[in-house]
Amino acid sequence: GGAGRRGLKVKLGIMPDFTATENDGLGVGGVTAGGPASKAGMLKGDKIVAINGMAITNIYDYMNRLKKLKPGETISVDIIRNGNKKVLVVVL
């Protein structure tokens, strides 16, 4: 067998903002250029509040959601930007 890579199969291409303490979403501390989030129009400072309609309140929710996704899948990501809710379509 090959060496099984553990961890996440998919990457959104963001650096979470670990400084946020409120459990009201996952702050985006940075976006990887050319990654899925970047292509979908996500920006640093956005806050992810849901993936495929399922609430994201913190980094743990986010990790659990990502574990269930597959490369190539198209997902909806709800974000808050400047107080306004937007829905981004992300191709993983």
DSSP E strand stretches across the chain: 14-16, 26-31, 47-51, 54-55, 74-81, 84-91
- Which tens digits make up the pLDDT trace of 32-58? 999 999 999 999 999 999 999 999 999
Instruction: Grade residue 5 by pLDDT with cuts at 50, 70 and 90.
Output: low
pTM of the model: 0.88
Q: What is the mean predicted confidence (pLDDT) over 61-89?
A: 96
Task: Note the CATH number of domain 14-91.
Answer: 2.30.42.10
Report pLDDT for 22.
Answer: 80
Q: Where are the domains of the chain?
A: 14-91
What is the share, in percent, of the chain residues with pLDDT greater than 70?
91
